[in-house]
Amino acid sequence: MADRIEWAYTAATSRFVRAATYAGFGLLGGLAVIAVVGGVALVVGLAVAGNLAALALVGLLLLVGGPYSLLYLAPMLTDPAQRPPLPADSPLVMLSARRLALASVAAGVVLVASGLVAPWLPIAVFVVGVLVLLPVVAALTTEGAADPDAGTLTVNGREVALADLQGVRRARLGAVVLAWLSYGRGTATGVPRFVAVPRPVWAELAPALRAGVRTETESDDGLSRQVRTVLVGIGLGTLALAVGAGFLAVTRHGAGAVFGYAAAFAVVFGALFLWVGTT
């Protein structure tokens, strides 16, 4: 009887995932820190200038000016029962509130300092930290289990039969193994495709995954090798355009934002073509 294999690669078990999570959410908190500091500076400036009418308007907006006003936020700040609960699988559950606050202050300083270097730099820092880093962390965060006796693989609450596996590709990255799982045609949607596994656990998990791969049947997904080659070529070409647009975003100060958005869209579509062509 084979033993059940379990693993977790999360913010609680990985320093990289933990640091990247603090960095990404810290940048989001950094925007709030900048807004608060800017609001305080505005109030102080108006008070020093003696502009009582504008000061009264700002005070009114702070009190009743929408979902972020003090009257709206006060119940949630003073009564924990009024705060919306975090999902059990949210990465914020594993973070320390104090460290997250420190990360937010540090991120706010980084955003302001980068803006003093170049106007486009805070946007680049935010895009990389939030729109790139957090999705990468979400993809890497894995809690899974394989039961060879039951013939099942469970990843982040999603279960699939090991016999449905058609291929396993893996790459070692430091202390973690990144595995891409492919399935035969007809497999239900929502099955786990990408898993991150600590290297010590991979030595036990790999034989169970390979045993489930159906080597006696060929894939019949309707895509020929030629079509896949074309899709992969388009994907690589689109990613090359993304690199070029990113370079122009850095060097063309007048149109940096336009080229930055173009690079982001090219990355998304290039990755999509590569995913279709390789799965």
Assessment of whether the complete model's pTM goes beyond 0.85: no
pLDDT tens per residue across span 154-200:
998 888 888 888 888 888 888 889 888 887 665 656 678 888 999 99
Report pLDDT for 218: 43
Comparing 1 with 113, the larger pLDDT belongs to 113
Boundaries of every domain in the chain: 15-121, 141-212, 225-278
Q: What is the pLDDT of residues 201-244, one digit of tens each?
A: 999 998 888 887 754 434 444 455 677 787 788 888 888 888 88
CA angle 229, 235, 238 (to 5 degrees): 140
Q: What is the DSSP string of 55-68?
A: HHHHHHHHHHSSTT
Confidence band for 29, pLDDT divided at 50, 70 and 90: very high
- pLDDT value for 68: 64
Q: What architecture does CATH give domain 141-212?
A: Roll (2.30)
Instruction: Please tell me the least confidently modeled range out of 105-109, 133-137, 148-152, 221-225.
Output: 221-225
CA dist 266 and 244 (Å) reads 10
Q: Strands across the sheet with 176-183, in order? A: 165-173, 176-183, 194-198
Q: What contacts 39, CB < 8 A, 6 or more positions away?
A: 58, 62
**The predicted structure's pLDDT at residue 33:** 93
Find the DSSP H helices in the chain.
15-49, 52-64, 70-78, 97-117, 121-126, 134-140, 199-212, 225-251, 256-278
Q: Which pLDDT score, from 0 to 100, does residue 83 have?
A: 66
pLDDT recorded at residue 221: 46
66: left (phi over 0), alpha (psi -120 to 50) or beta: left
* Token reading at 194: 């990408």
Instruction: Report the pLDDT value the prediction gives residue 210, as an integer from 0 to 100.
Output: 85
Q: At residue 157, what is the residue type?
A: G
